[in-house]
Each structure stands twice: as C-alpha cells, then as structure tokens.
Amino acid sequence: MVDPRFSVLSEDFAADPYRHFARLRDRSPVHYEPAIDSYFLSRHQDVKRVLTDHEAFTTETLQVRAEPVMRGPVLAQMTGAEHTAKRKIVVRAFTGQALQEQTRAIRADAAELVAPLLSQGRMDLVNDFGKPFAVYVTLDVLGLDKQDWRQVSAWLNGVGEFITSMGLTPERRRHCLDCAEQLEAYLVPVIEQRRRHPGEDLISKLCTAGSDGIAMNNRDVTALVINVLVAAVEPADKTLGLLFKHLIDHPEQLAQVRQDPALLPAAIAETLRYTPPVQLIPRQAEKDAVIAGTVVPAGATVFCMIGAANRDPAAFSAPDTFDIHRPDLGTDRSFTAAAAQHLAFGTGLHQCVGAAFARAEIETVAALLLPLLDQVRYSPGFRYRETGLYTRGPVSLPLDFTPVHESAPAVVEPGPSSRPLPGRPAPHPPLFQESGPAVHPTITPTGREQR
C-alpha cells in the first residue's frame, strides 16, 4: 500500500510523476482517487489489457470528457461499421501517397518557421518553434489557412483544457466551450465550401465520404476535424522538445544520430517510450472487473498511465534508462500502434490513427534541425521543467547553437535513399525557398500546462 495521503492529483506528483511510478506499480497498481472517483493503472500488462478489451472497458467516458468540445462524437467513441468506415477515411488521408505529400509540406513549413531564428544562435525550441510548428503544419495538411495558426492555437488550448482537466471552475468550463464554439464557427464555412468544390485534403474527403458508404453532416465532419487537430497538435511540440532534451542530455547518443541519421527513428521511438507526451488514456468499466486483485466497479472511470506502463521492468529492461539502441523496443514496430511494445500511441481498436504521420512529422523536422543546430546546448541559467498530468512536456527549452547565416549547409531529407554515407555530403536543393515572406512566429506559452 502507498501512503493514504498520496495522490496523483497532488502538486508533488505533478512536479515529477516518474519518481512515483515504481512505487505505484509495486504497491498500488490499481490506485483509487476518491476526489474524482477514478482508478489509475500503472502496470504494462494491466494497461494493455484495458486498452484491448473493448467489451469490458469502453470509451463511454469520452461522451462527457471530449464530445462537448469536439462538437460531436470522436473516432474513439465509435464502434462497428461507423468506426471502420470513418477510421478508414482518416487513415487513408495520413498514409501512402498522401503522407509523402504531407512530408514535403512538413519540411517546407519547418524551414519557413526556423529560418528567421537561425541567425540569432538562440531559440526556445518549444515556444519559438515547436508550438507554432505543430499548429502551422497541421493546418497545412488539412488545407486550412496557415496564417490563422495563432487564433486556432488559442481555440485548441481551450478545447484541450476541457478534455484533460481533472476539475474545471464554471468560468474555465465556459471559456473552453466558447473556444470550441468559435472553432466550429470557423470550420463550418470551410466545410460547406469543400462540399461545393472538393479537393484532395482531408476535409474534402470527409465531405465526400458518401462514396465510401457513409454520409456525414457538417457536425460530423467538424467533430472529426477537431479530433484530428487536437490529436496532431497536442503531442507534436512536446515530442520534439523531449527528443532534443534527451539527446542533449546524452551527448554520445546525439553524436551517433548525427553520424548515422538512420538512428533517428529509434531515437524518436525511445523518446515516446521514455517520456510519452500523452500520459493518460481514459476508459470506463462496463461491468465489475478484477484488475491486479482490485475490484473496479461497473461504471467507474479507469485511467491508463502510459508513462508508468512504459517504465515497467516487466516490459522493458532498464526502463528508467534512455537508450536508442535498446533491443526490446522494436523500432520497426514502434510506429505501428497495434504491434508497438511501448503504448505511446495506445493499442487495440482505438489506437492512434496518426502514428505514421507523427513519425514523419518529427523525423522530418528533426532531420532538418540537427545539422543546423551545431554545438547545440542549453542556454545559460536554464532550469528544465515539465508540466502536465494528462499530457506532459517541457514548459520551455531554450537552446544556444552556432548562428547560421545565408551560407547554411544543405540539409539531408530523411529517408534511406537520401541519407549520405558517413563523411560524404549529399547534394540537396537550397533549404529555404524564395516562395514568399518568412513567418516570424513568437508566442508566449499560454497552454493549459502553464495556466
């Protein structure tokens, strides 16, 4: 048993949950929080069981936690033919030829956003680049106006706060719902325009889904678009910041990734295992269930603690060590949620549909940044801090590096065909295209983690 005064909702736990995970797994693998009448699971086998047993543990809790701000049911709430058909449309939009085109857009957007920061020799990777990039590129691949990223980001902060908060004041709840309503009002005219003049973007494909045997009204499409926005934006800046944090903290592994870019997918996969940006996945018990000797009553909310499960020594050797070479990770399977040993993308019927896109996004931008950020290091006086219970990532990551001017070296595009042999540069077109004025985004961290 743990100390009865212990709570996963406490400030002490929020400051560093990783130092509590082993004690939870050993002494209270099914931890009850009376304040919110919920159970928290910390063992890998229990988390995997709950995420894959869809009859005993449903996503019904999302009807209260997500649907009000998603403006309708999300993919994770659906089952049967509806789930299969809608999921197929979304998956198709983020794989194959579509993913190749998105990768080119990701590279161009990242280059555009980082360009004005390079000559300074200093940037906050999270707030100067990561947060704007995550919204900017998602709007781009959805076919929405990238110049609206600041406003969309503010709305998404409110939507995300509603979904992830363990307790909202009436004022904050109203604010979150207002954000969702404004985001819906922004999307509906776009949806109506795509119905009249469909293109190749995801919104158009959702609007014309009748050809796939399922017709969606504007509210259905809006809910799925907001679903994609939240799922794509929320983890991206956190994963990028955490990746660079771990590589800087392990300079020998950073040097190996620089020398052999083929190691980059392993570094990303290990980051997702070691510090998953999505820490909690909720489910609801359909009937009484016994988990690790504890009876979880029907109707109870169960939170799967992904961070704790990914540090379980029953699933990974030396789980508290960051190691891009670990043999028990299975990098090739790490971005296929159904086969991944780590649970950062969930698993089972409702595993993350955007795992391939997430890999392409982080791998592409990291492959662009690593050669540019020469001698990268933390800025003087920096003290690292993470925040967030439901989703978690760095508050900031100020970095110093050798300033890059117009004579910037070529950047190797990710992919086996474009990786140079060690010591031999690869030809590449100019990094920054003269296609328009550079965007100069600088935002103050206003996400829910900092409120």
In a domain, 426, yes or no: yes
Q: Which one is predicted more confidently, 200 or 297? A: 297
Q: Which one is predicted more confidently, 73 or 107? A: 107
Report the CATH number at residue 40.
1.10.630.10
SS (H, E, C) the chain: CCCCCCCCCCHHHHHCCHHHHHHHHHHCCEEEECCCCEEEECCHHHHHHHHHCCCCEECCCHHHHCHHHHCCCCHHHCCHHHHHHHHHHHHHHCCHHHHHHHHHHHHHHHHHHHHHHHCCCEEEHHHHHHHHHHHHHHHHHHCCCHHHHHHHHHHHHHHHHHHHCCCCCHHHHHHHHHHHHHHHHHHHHHHHHHHHCCCCCHHHHHHCHHHHCCCCCHHHHHHHHHHHHHHHHHHHHHHHHHHHHHHHHCHHHHHHHHHCHHHHHHHHHHHHHHCCCECEEEEEECCCEEECCEEECCCCEEEEEHHHHCCCCCCCCCCCCCCCCCCCCCHHHCCCCCCCCCCCCCCCCCCCCCHHHHHHHHHHHHHHHHHHCCCCEECCCCCCCEECCCECEECCCEEECCCCCCCCCCCCCCCCCCCCCCCCCCCCCCCCCCCCCCCCCCCCCCCHHHC
In a domain, 48, yes or no: yes
In a domain, 1, yes or no: no
Mean pLDDT of 295-321: 96
The per-residue pLDDT for 76 is: 62
In a domain, 4, yes or no: no
Position 421 pLDDT exceeds 60 = no
Mean pLDDT of 26-40: 95
Q: Which of 28-32, 89-93, 268-272, 406-410 has the lowest mean pLDDT?
A: 406-410
In a domain, 2, yes or no: no
Question: What is the pLDDT confidence band of residue 337, given thresholds at 50, 70 and 90?
Answer: low
What tens digit of pLDDT does each residue of 54-91 get? 888 988 777 777 888 888 777 666 666 666 777 777 77
The per-residue pLDDT for 83 is: 66
Mean pLDDT of 161-189: 92
What tens digit of pLDDT does each residue of 359-411 get? 889 999 999 999 999 999 999 999 999 999 999 999 999 999 999 986 444 44
In a domain, 387, yes or no: yes
Q: Which one is predicted more confidently, 81 or 16? A: 16
Number of domains in the chain: 1
In a domain, 269, yes or no: yes
Q: Give the domain extent around 434.
A: 11-443
Q: Which one is predicted more confidently, 242 or 341? A: 242
In a domain, 449, yes or no: no
The per-residue pLDDT for 420 is: 34
Position 163 pLDDT exceeds 80 = yes
Q: Which of 70-74, 194-198, 318-322, 380-384 has the lowest mean pLDDT?
A: 70-74
Q: Which one is predicted more confidently, 308 or 206? A: 308
